[in-house]
Each structure stands twice: as structure tokens, then as C-alpha cells.
Structure 1
């Protein structure tokens, strides 16, 4: 993730014989007298910092559950008073017997369905929420999303059975359009010069969320004594997530001002929703059909990058999602052990994104994207072959290095195409392809894990990831 750079210099008068002028160039020394001509630094709108705090609360709450999910599903396997878990188990039992899949891996299958359901609901909600905010304004729609997210954590805290837990994940997924809305708020209040700073803060929020959230989730699970027989050990982590969500709601309601004035809103809700609905048309987003009046070679490049991105993220998300189940079932990792793995990979990604990725010259973006796509192949092969923590950590470290480059570089590549007034649409379609991939990947990865085991799943998945790398290497972009 990009980090924030603050200038430590201010314009100074260096001569009494010349009038100080401001321009867009960096301060340069001319002759023997250094005349600094840099323009005063444009200040970022305070709303950007409000969005940063809101996202930080939201992502900390969201990531608390990550290292807990395998243990949660095992808990509901034994303690489901609704009977839903047993009903679903009976529905797949004939398939399990046909394949000879072990009973304990059924939780992996159910986890994959839950992960894909959450991402698919997010795929559906984000463009519709964006369209509604163009008509009603950003703040009221953001408050509705934040309220839905808080409600999902309340349902989780009360989920004494599996049916309530599924309902909690459903409500959370359909309310998760807040991320795209936060990006819209930053766009509303930023100029071309300050937008980069705003997006950098978003990157910092994601980094902190995915580093700290899993760790505090695991710690609170331990404090609530999850080893107690029949004890609802997840209540404390879920209440912490609820507290963070309520904090987010308070920040938005008290501190966020409306950033889309009425005169700039669309006049009819039908036109507000039309573009959002285009992003739900699978054929349309793969063809980048909304991007018109651009050269054919640009359209072909967009379609190539979009397909590469979708295939990469589809395979990647399926394998990434099942890693927590691999650590739990094969290596016997506790929630804290898994949180330490998340901490390790998160710190590596943050350091690389802050020190290397944000400084990459445009000419090398494609080369680093290709490098990252090739690097993910041995990463997952090592994870599949691992019989001990050493090789598992080696594979996950390669995974972290690859992840630090891949999505950022591919997003930068695609953002070069389209006219100036189409950049937002290009990135919106690109994000929709990613959301669709993440909606399909977890369930397919979990089915493979359940059917053929972890070793074949990770090795085969890693080998298949060669295709996006080769395709990008051959693409003329």
C-alpha cells in the first residue's frame, strides 16, 4: 500500500531583487542563488481523514473473524440448535461418500459457500449503492450501509446456531457497499493533486486493518476461553466488532458532511441506477462495453487485462480463502497461530508496498506485474507440499511478496486506458471483475479442497496460475 509523503519544505524568498512567483515545477537552484518556485502545497479536505477513520474502524471489525472462521464452523458442527448444519451435511453426504472425502473437511466446503456468498452479495450491492448515492447523496447511503454492517455483527454475537450466523454473513455482505462509497467521497472532495494522498490513506487503512484485526480477534477469542465445553467463545470478538462498527457509525453521523451537493446529483433515480446495473451484466463487464469512442487497440488491451485479472483473482482467491482451513486442519494451528501468519504476511506486504511499489516507474509496471504473477506459482506449490511450518511460512512469504505487487500493478496498467472522462468507468468495471472473481473463487477452491485434498488443490492451482502470467507476458499493452 502506498504511504503518505509529507513535504518538510516551505517556499522561501531567496532574493530581494526578484518577485517571487509560484508555478507547478519543483524548486530548482538557478545559478548561485537558489530560488524556490514550488507552489504552496494544496491541503487535503478534512473529509478525507474522516473517511480514513471510518474505513479503519470498518476493516478492523471485518478482519476480526478471519482467523476464527475454521473454529467457528467446527463449533456450529457440534452446537447447531437450528439443525441447518446437519441438514446441509446430509444433502452433501452422498457426494462425500462417492469421493471418499473426510467428514472433518465438510466445514471447509461450508466455509467456501459462506465466503462466496458474502463476496457475491458485495458484487451485487456495490454498483447499486453507488447509483443510489448519486441520487440521494453519499452520507445517507453510507449511514444505511454502516447500520447494516453493525446489525450483522449484532446478529453474529447472538448467533447461538448456524442459521443465525449465515443470516449475519448475508446482512454483512449486502451492506458492504461502503468501501466503494468511501472512494466516491474521496473523489468528490479531492483535486487531481490531493487524490493520491486520499487513496494513500485508504491503503494505510487496509494495511492496518489486515495486520491488526486478525490478531485482536484471536486474542479476544482466547480471553473468552473458547476451550470451555459448549461455551460461545465467539461472543467477545463479535461484540468487539460490533463496538468498532458502532464507532464507525458515530464518526459518519457526527463528522462526515455531505460531499455531493444537490445541484450535482442526478435528477432521476433510473439514470442513477443504469450504470450500476451495467456492472451486473457479466458479458458487458468482460467486454468493457460501457467504454466507447476509444481506439480498438485500447479496447482490446482493456479486455485482455480484464480477463487476466479475473482469471488470476479467481484462482488466487480460491486458494487464499482455504489457507485458514489448511492451517487449522493439517497443521493444527490455533486462532492465534493463524493471526501470527496474517501478521507476518501483512507486515511484508505493507513494507513492500510502502517502500517499492509506490515508487515503481511507469515503464516497469508491466514487468513487475508479470514477475508477481509468476511468483505466486511457487508460493502455492510450496504451500501444497508443506509438511511443516517452515515450508508453509516460506510459501506464504512468497505469497505476500507477490500480492504486494500484483493487484496494484494490474490496476495501474488498466488505468492508462480510456479517455479522461472514462477513467472512473474503467476502474469501476475492473473492480466488478475482481468482485465477481472473489465471489466464485472461494466456493470452487473449497470444493476442490474437500474433494481431492489440500496438496493436489494447491499444486494444481499454482500450476494453473501460470496462464495469467504467460498471457500478460504475451499481451501487447
Structure 2
């Protein structure tokens, strides 16, 4: 293949990854302002809806835990393109199912299917690893994060607006967006993984526990995996309780929630799309990651404390620095494995994140139910956010220690005399 043809393929791939990431996240973001309210309509209680919503998020994450390593290993064997396309089609069908859901059981089934199909996000990260040099991956992952954030700018706003016409309208719109993503990829997406670099499929690597063998085989990844787990654990406080918390404490409806989530997306897009590259260049991956985690700690604690909506919005500014952590964490981890293990690594990472995604929403949903309402055990609506801040601070400490140890080991290897 000529150099010009390779450049064209790379540009087409990057365009698809960014556009599809935006479309998929817009589709997911559309349902955020309305799904917890739909659950509340079924169960009739804000506090109880917090528990049920936590269970639904856990179902979604549980399916990611089971399916992410399988999908990652399948993409290592058969290529990235078919996995991404099948995911887009599956998401479209899932949103149709949820739009028609007559009860909680249908919604639960929809969350299960969504967990399976969205597991292909591991393949998107592996795709970027295929076409990006190791030293440029932090910025590349930052750009993916910016694309996701761009989706969250538009998605919740659309969801809040469409939700005014009925809680099921956003699901139909989301189905249409996922269909567009599938058709677009079918026409333009090139394969990124050459046949000679593919790895045979193995259930030992593809099962949820087996995928973690990669982390055990590379001990230097273990500490970073703990940071990954804690980061996702803290983050799920938003998916578990935010919409219900905003309605309970500040009286915000779908439109206000949608606009606020759009602001979150704008801030995250600025951080990941603009700041990651310069900050990494100045501070390095480790310190950039720690800075992001500390900023997130301050912001999320302030959200729990905020006595009014204006203070909650102000707390989003330090919280936005959280966007520095994920791309640099990804970059640190991808440098520790070979090119033929990138898909497996992303599957293992998603498995770790999914374990957090199962445990965290159940935990925060339970904490929320204990801290609001007439029968609250502890009258402290922001308790879930305070606990999430503690978890994030612990991640910052561990990330700093692990990163420092890795840098020292790398320096020792460079300085060591060659073996005769």
C-alpha cells in the first residue's frame, strides 16, 4: 500500500472513530435525563428509584465485565472493524427495545443488552493504539475523550428537550443515531489491525477472570489497575444518583439536568481535547494523572456540600480536571504491553472498570436511599458525593506512588550496563 493510501485510510479511520464516538455518546447521553425519572414513574418513590437505578447501572456494568474481554480478544483475532459495526447495530436495536418497555423488566433487559454492545468501547481504544505511536497515545486518548465529551454536550440537552414530549421519545432518537453510526462505519471504516499482527482467540484470555491474567503477567500494571478501579468506582456516583439527587435537592427537571450535563461535557471536552497534550508535555503522564484525580476530589466533595444549584455548578470547574486522569492512565498502561496485546489490555481494563461498575452503583444507590427522604437514616443528601471524593483521593495517592516506582525502575533499566 502506498504512503498516500495509508494516510487516507488513517484519516478515514480517525474521522469514523471521532464521529462514531460522538454519535454513540449522544445516544447514551440522550437517555440520561429521562431514564431515572422513568424508573421513578414505575416505582413511585425517589429514594427507591435510586436503588433500582443503581441496580440497572450494575446490570449494565456486569455485562461489560463478562463481555469486554471476549470482545477485546475477538478484535485481536478478527480485527477491530466487524466488532465496532456489530456494536453500533446492537445499540440501535437496544434503544428500540427500551422505547417500547412496558415495565421495569423490559428496562432491565435493555440495560443488559446495552452492557453487551457498549463493551466494544474497548475496541475503539485498541483501534487507536493500532494507528498511533506509543508516545502520542495520551493525546490520542484525550481526543477520544473529547469526542465522548462532545457527545455528552449534545446528548443530555437533546434528552432533556425531547423528554418534555414524553419519557420514551429520547429512546427512539437514540436508536436513530446508532443506526446512522452503523451505516457510516459500514461505508468508510478501514481495518486497523493487520493479519500478521493478530492473535488466536483463547477462552483463557477471553473469560472475565482470564483477561486479568494479562495484568498479573505484567506486575507493573497491577497498581495502575487499582487506580483504574477506584476512578470508575467514584465516577459511578453520577450514573447512580445524580439525576435523582438534582431533583431532590435543587428541584431540577430533565431540561435543567440536560443543560448541566452539557456543561460537564463542554468542560471535559476542553480539558481532554485542549489541555491534556500541553499539560503532559510539561508535567509528564504521572503528574498529569495525579493532578486530574486531585482536581476531581475537590470538585466532587464540593458538589456534595453545595447548598444551592449555583454552588453545585461552580464545583464543576475543579471537577473538570478529572478529565486529565483517564487518558494519561491509559497511556501509562499501553506502554507496558506489546502491540499484539492492546485489545486484551483494553478488555482487562474494561473488566476492572466493570467490576467497579457493578459494585459502585449498588453502593451509592444504597447510600443515597439512606440519606434522603422521610425515612432517611442519615439526613445528608450529599453523603454519596463525599464518599466518592474519598475514593478518588485514595486513587490519587496510589497513582502517585505507583507512577513514581515505575519511573525509578525505568531509569534503572536505562542506566544499567549491558549484559555481556
Answer yes or no: same fold by TM over 0.5: yes
Task: Compare relative contact order (CA 8 Å, sep 6+) and give the higher one, 1 or 2.
Answer: 2
What does the per-residue CA deviation read over 1:32-68, in whole Å, with 9 as the maximum and x for residues that have no partner? xxxxxxxxx9553423323333332222111111122
Q: CA deviation at 1:423?
A: 5.9
| Aligned CA distance change for structure 1 residues 373 and 196 (closer, same or farther; 3 Å) | closer
1:366 to 257, 269, 286: 286
1:230 aligns to what? none
Distance apart, 1:122 and its partner CA: 1.6
Extract unaligned runs of 5+ from structure 1: 1-40, 79-102, 225-232, 292-298
> 2:242 aligned to 307, 323, 327, which one?
323
Specify which structure has the higher proportion of helix.
2
Q: 1:56 aligns with which of 13, 19, 22?
A: 22
Query: What do residues 211-253 of structure 1 show as CA deviations (whole Å, max 9, x unaligned)?
Result: 111111111112x1xxxxxxxx123211111111111222233
Q: Deviations over 1:138-168 (max 9, x none)?
A: 4444333222211111111111222222222
In the alignment, structure 1 residue 275 sits paired with structure 2 residue 222: no
Q: Which has the larger radius of gyration?
A: 1
Between 444-453 and 236-245, the greater mean CA deviation after superposition: 444-453
What is the TM-score of this pair, normalised by structure 2?
Answer: 0.81
In the alignment, structure 1 residue 400 sits paired with structure 2 residue 320: yes
Q: Tell me: CA distance 1:55–1:404, structure 2 relative to 1, closer, same or farther (3 Å).
A: closer
Deviation, 1:322, is 1.7
Partner of 2:171: 238
**Superimposed CA distance per residue, residues 93-113 of structure 1 (whole angstroms, 9 cap, x where no aligned partner):** xxxxxxxxxx53000000011
Residue 397 of structure 2 corresponds to residue 470 of structure 1: yes
Q: Secondary structure at the match of 2:216?
A: coil
Q: Distance in 2 between matches of 1:124 and 1:323?
A: 26
* Residue equivalent to 1:290: 217
From 249, 261, 282, give the equivalent of 2:182.
249
The counterpart of 1:388, out of the listed 305, 308, 316, is 308
Q: Is the 8 A contact 1:139 1:258 kept in 2?
A: yes
Counterpart residue number, 2:153: 211
**CA deviation after TM superposition for structure 1 residue 335, in Å:** 0.7
Residues 127 and 393 of structure 1, relative CA distance in 2, 3 Å threshold:
same
The correspondence of residues 61-76 of structure 1 with structure 2, limited to 5 A, is 61-76=27-42
State how far apart, in whole Å, the 1-side matches of 2:324 and 2:26 are. Answer: 23
2:237–2:384 Cα contact (<8 Å) kept: no
Question: Structure 1 135/367 Cα, relative in aligned 2: closer, same or farther at 3 Å?
Answer: closer
Q: TM-score, normalised by structure 1?
A: 0.72
- Unaligned segments of structure 2, at least 5 residues: 1-5, 373-380, 406-420
- After superposition, the Cα gap between the structure-2 partners of 1:145 and 1:273, relative to the gap in structure 1 and judged at 3 Å, is farther
